[in-house]
Amino acid sequence: MRNLNWKWLVVLSMILLSIIVIWPGDPVSKYVPFLSLEFKPQLGLDIAGGIHIVLEAVDTPEVKVEEADVKAVEQVLRSRVDALGLTEPNIYRLGGESWRKIIVELPYEEVGGIKDPAEAMQLIGKTALLEFKAEDGTVLITGKYLRTARSTTDEMGSPAVGFEFDEARARADGQKTFEEITSEHLNKTISIVLDGEVISSPRVESVITGGEGIIKGDFTFDEAARLSALLRGGALPVKVEIAETRFLGPTLGYDYLREVELAGVVAFILVASFMVFKYKHMSIVSMFSLSTFLLFLLAILLSLRATLTLPGIAGIVLSLGMAVDGSIIVFERIREEVMQGRNVRTAVNNGYKKAFSTIFDSNVTTLIGTLVLYQFGTGPIRGFAVTLSIGVLVGLFVTLFVSRLLTEAIGIKYLVPRTFKVRRQ
């Protein structure tokens, strides 16, 4: 009895914590100000809407694209998106014959999302090669050696971009430091060039020490912020072209979500109806198990800040079906034990023992499949694999632990005898 009590304490604590996690808002901070448990669902591109860009690295007379270059482009794009503060971006490379292509997906959001798709496309595809050139056109130093860049203002209060060179890296690569450059070009102009376009051509009036400087130009504050983000992210190592662009409005995405939610409710009702028809009183156990399964799964996904996508929802529905399968296998094993003349307690114990290997093996094979999908898949396929694998693990716990706990608590005395017409003992 004491063993049963601590198990129920664990389950009820998990249920309470899950309810707190999925509850709208932050109910805990009202009573415990220093503790915040607010988890807002992150919506993917196919639900929240956004922009889907396919970039392709292309050869030029100077550079032939290699796989390492495409990997470097992916990292630069991630740095740019992170520097802009865009939330939940999805950036990944394609494989096979499409190894040159990179997918960039940016969802619309009220806060931290893209506002202007055209601006996002320009920002993503921009090379962002910063060069400091002498009067004769010689490149003195490039943005490759920048440590950081930030939006700031000049002495007149106008928008500008401040920068700082990493002097250690500049020396290690045999380049002249910024101090040496300004010393050699004192009272001369140095052109600051971005992607072949001269931004400004300031005259060097004094030697600049510390590797710091400022880029002045006809900027707005937003343009200065975008330029600093581009410079922090670094220049693209090869030329990229936008091969494809798709836009998905948030209204269409939310329509999909409502349809999926309706389908989920209908599926749950149909499953519940089947279990009631097939297993009568024991359906109470299966319905409690399924409700607990959904509660635990949603709480875990929210706490992990998982992005909710349509493939992810498909993974939830599929794992729900596997959880139902587990209950059916257990109930059928109990029925077999009853038909062989076992009493209730023995039938329940043997039923769960014999069902364990079948349920465990089927879930393990599914997990192996999800690992393969995650390893070799990209983007939405990986999201589906992660959601399904979490759902499988949660379903395994609920079927073999929570379900059995409830069966031992009320099933042996009340539910099993009424469902399978067997004497209690």
Shared domain check, 187 and 144: yes
* 200 domain-assigned: yes
* 239 domain-assigned: yes
* 303 domain-assigned: yes
* 103 domain-assigned: yes
- Local confidence pLDDT in tens for the 425 residues of the chain: 556 678 888 999 999 988 888 887 665 555 444 445 556 667 777 777 778 888 898 887 767 888 888 888 888 888 777 766 665 677 888 888 888 999 888 776 544 445 565 666 666 767 667 788 888 888 888 777 777 888 888 888 888 888 887 765 555 554 467 788 888 888 888 888 877 778 778 888 788 777 788 887 777 887 788 778 777 766 677 788 888 888 776 655 567 677 877 887 888 888 888 988 888 888 899 999 999 999 999 999 888 877 777 788 888 888 988 889 999 999 999 989 888 888 888 889 999 999 999 999 999 999 999 999 988 877 678 888 999 999 999 999 999 999 999 988 888 778 777 877 655 55
* 45 domain-assigned: no
Shared domain check, 119 and 85: yes
Q: How far is CA 99 from the centre of its chain?
A: 22
Residue 164 to residue 143: CA distance in whole angstroms:
10
b/e sequence 375-413, b meaning 16+ C-beta within 10 Å: eebebbebbbbbbbbbbbbbbbbbbbebbbbbbbeebbe
Chosen domain end from 227, 247, 267: 247
Structural domain harbouring 349 = 2-39+250-420
* 412 domain-assigned: yes
Chosen domain end from 247, 273, 298: 247
Give how many domains the chain has, as a whole number. Answer: 2
CATH code, 196: 3.30.1360.200
* 399 domain-assigned: yes
Shared domain check, 306 and 210: no
Shared domain check, 201 and 115: yes
What is each CA distance from 294 to 99, 299, 367, 381, 411, in whole angstroms? 38, 8, 19, 21, 22
Q: What string of DSSP letters covers 162-198? A: EEEE-HHHHHHTTPPPHHHHHHHTTTSB-EEEETTEE
Shared domain check, 400 and 307: yes
Shared domain check, 288 and 167: no
Shared domain check, 299 and 220: no
pTM, 2 dp: 0.67
* 44 domain-assigned: no
Residue 403 to residue 258: CA distance in whole angstroms:
30
